[in-house]
Amino acid sequence: MTSPVNAENSLPAGLYIVATPIGNLGDLSARAADILSRADVIAAEDTRVTAGLLRHIGVKRPMTPYHDHNAEHARPALIARMGHEVVALVSDAGTPLISDPGFKLVREARAAGHLVVTVPGPCAAVAALTLAGLPTDRFLFLGFLPPKEKARADAIAEVAAIRATLVLYESGPRLGACLAALAKGLGDREAAVTREITKRFEEAVTGTLSALADRYADAGPKGEIVVVVAPPDPPAPASLNDADAALTEALERLPASKAAGEVAKRLGLDRRDLYARALAMKGE
């Protein structure tokens, strides 16, 4: 895409999604600092928080608030500006759009044909995954679960069968109740409570959900928290009895090779073994 280039700073005009530190200011990337120092305007969740970050890098740039309460109103002007100016989007900490505002801004920027650039960096969910010591090949990010008991239980039930590590944000005061609800809805899986990542008191406490729920039942810890929960155990392999029962039933409808194929797929067993068994059952 060709975009107008802001003559003053030579960056192409558009929307720049800039990730910022989740605690340790040293995690601001050189590229993030560069984009922020050359932005025509920084759309910030809380301009006081972002002012602190700009002070840290010795930069002063115009800012405008962009948060859940003013986004509808503020968006059209930002969309118009990014046609000819460099608009940077930041949240208070971490990656914008991840449990933070920005999704509609990106969607509308794209619809308007503007350049959209990401400047990736810290994200508490991904940082927690790296600390937890749980499988990372498949994970599902749940953001914040609903605070009310029934809605939270429903949200947990919805993901109970998903074969993926779960990652969620939670606050200290709600942590104990949240862990107890997870133990009830998911079974007593392994989990990690990661806290204050990249800060002085960073920690990852691991254990079963019920042990962690007990630990935090009375008093939630201070600071910012990400909970990581192991995927469900794989189902126990089917027994020979299960295989025989399934084959007997399938052989009433299908020839041996098809019966073996169907049962192999359903029970996750070897098709050739099942075919040999099916032939033996038929006395062939």
CA-only gyration radius of the chain, Å: 26
Tokens of 92: 């208070």
Interaction of residue 224 with ligand SAM, rule CB under 6 A: yes
Work out which of 86, 90, 109, 123 binds ligand SAM, going by CB under 6 A: 123
Backbone angles phi, psi at 56, to 5 degrees: -60, -35
Interaction of residue 23 with ligand SAM, rule CB under 6 A: yes
Q: DSSP E strands: which ranges in the chain? A: 14-18, 41-44, 63-65, 86-90, 116-119, 139-144, 165-170, 190-195, 203-208, 225-229
Interaction of residue 125 with ligand SAM, rule CB under 6 A: yes
Work out which of 34, 108, 196, 214 binds ligand SAM, going by CB under 6 A: 196
Residue 277, helix vs strand vs coil: helix
Stretch that binds ligand SAM, among 51-59, 95-103, 184-192, 254-262 (CB under 6 A): 95-103
Backbone angles phi, psi at 86, to 5 degrees: -90, 110
Q: Work out how close the CB of 28 gets to ligand SAM at its nearest, in angstroms, rounded to a whole number.
A: 13
Instruction: Between 203 and 242, name the residue whose CB sits nearer to ligand SAM.
Output: 203
Instruction: Between 61 and 67, name the residue whose CB sits nearer to ligand SAM.
Output: 67
For residues 81 and 48, give the distance between their C-alpha atoms in angstroms, rounded to a whole number: 22
Interaction of residue 221 with ligand SAM, rule CB under 6 A: no
Where helices occur in 43-194 by DSSP H, the ranges are: 47-56, 71-81, 103-111, 124-132, 149-159, 172-186
Interaction of residue 95 with ligand SAM, rule CB under 6 A: yes
For residues 232 and 263, give the distance between their C-alpha atoms in angstroms, rounded to a whole number: 23
Interaction of residue 82 with ligand SAM, rule CB under 6 A: no
Please, which of residues 133-172 interact with ligand SAM by CB under 6 A? 169
CB burial of 247-259 (b: ≥16 within 10 Å; e: otherwise) equals beebbeebebeeb
Interaction of residue 192 with ligand SAM, rule CB under 6 A: no
Stretch that binds ligand SAM, among 28-36, 63-71, 97-105, 148-156 (CB under 6 A): 97-105
Stretch that binds ligand SAM, among 66-74, 108-116, 205-213, 221-229 (CB under 6 A): 221-229
For residues 74 and 193, give the distance between their C-alpha atoms in angstroms, rounded to a whole number: 36
Total of residues contacting ligand SAM (CB under 6 A): 22
Stretch that binds ligand SAM, among 31-39, 111-119, 121-129, 185-193 (CB under 6 A): 121-129
Instruction: Between 23 and 231, name the residue whose CB sits nearer to ligand SAM.
Output: 23
Q: Which of 91, 87, 165 is nearest to 122 (CA)?
A: 91
Applying CB under 6 A, the residues found at the interface with ligand SAM are 22-23, 91, 93-95, 98-100, 123-125, 169, 194-199, 224-226
